[in-house]
Amino acid sequence: MQPIISSFIFATNVITAYLYKQYYIYSILFTSLTLTSFMYHSNSNIYTNIIDKCAIGSIVLYGAYMLYNKFNMDKLLEVILIFSCFFSINYLYIYGYYNKKYCYDPEWGNYYHGLLHFISSLGHHIIIFL
């Protein structure tokens, strides 16, 4: 799957955050991430990369804020799944960068990047429904 197509998976987070939980800020942040991800993957350059990284950073920070505020020992399994998603994403992206694997593999990189989009979307869906 091409990353430009998998960028639209973040639209599910927009819908979930807005319609089901009325998390308007989360919804706005995911709308911007969907747009910046689409922009970056359709026209990759240093400027679109920086803009996309800013959107990613805002989602990570706000997701951490939401998780901190919603943390409850009764939801420990969900929290473990969220951290598993987070560490999986970092592994695919950072470890892959330094070893030219996964997202940076010349043949399979786009598929891994699409998987990265899916895992990050899943992790934030779990945060939304905590």
- Report CA torsion sign: 26, 30, 32, 33: positive
pLDDT at 1: 57
pLDDT per residue over 19-64, tens digit each?
999 999 999 999 999 999 999 999 999 999 999 999 999 999 999 9
> In sequence order, what DSSP letters do the residues of 37-72 get, joined into one string?
HHHHHHS-SHHHHHHHHHHHHHHHHHHHHHHHHH--
pLDDT per residue over 67-120, tens digit each?
999 999 999 999 999 999 999 999 999 999 999 999 999 999 999 999 999 999
